[in-house]
Amino acid sequence: MAAITDVDVFEVAPNAGMKIIMVQTRNTVDAADTIAVNLANYGMAGSGFIAILGWKHTTDNSVVVTEAPTTSVTTDTLTITVPSGTDNDLRVYMIIGIGKATKVA
For residues 72-77, give the mean pLDDT.
90
Please tell me the distance from the alpha carbon of residue 40 to that of residue 19, in angstroms, as a whole number. 11
Whether the CB-CB separation of 57 and 63 falls below 8 Å is answered with yes
Whether the CB-CB separation of 34 and 92 falls below 8 Å is answered with no
**pLDDT band, residue 72 (cuts 50/70/90):** very high
DSSP-derived secondary structure letter, 41: G
Please tell me the distance from the alpha carbon of residue 86 to that of residue 50, in angstroms, as a whole number. 27
Domain 3-98 grouped into CATH 2.60.40.1290: yes
Please tell me the distance from the alpha carbon of residue 29 to that of residue 80, in angstroms, as a whole number. 12
Query: What pLDDT digit, counting tens, does each position of 17-67 carry?
Result: 788 899 999 999 999 999 999 998 888 876 788 999 999 998 888 889 999
Please tell me the distance from the alpha carbon of residue 12 to that of residue 87, in angstroms, as a whole number. 27
Please tell me the distance from the alpha carbon of residue 32 to that of residue 3, in angstroms, as a whole number. 9
List the chain domain ranges.
3-98
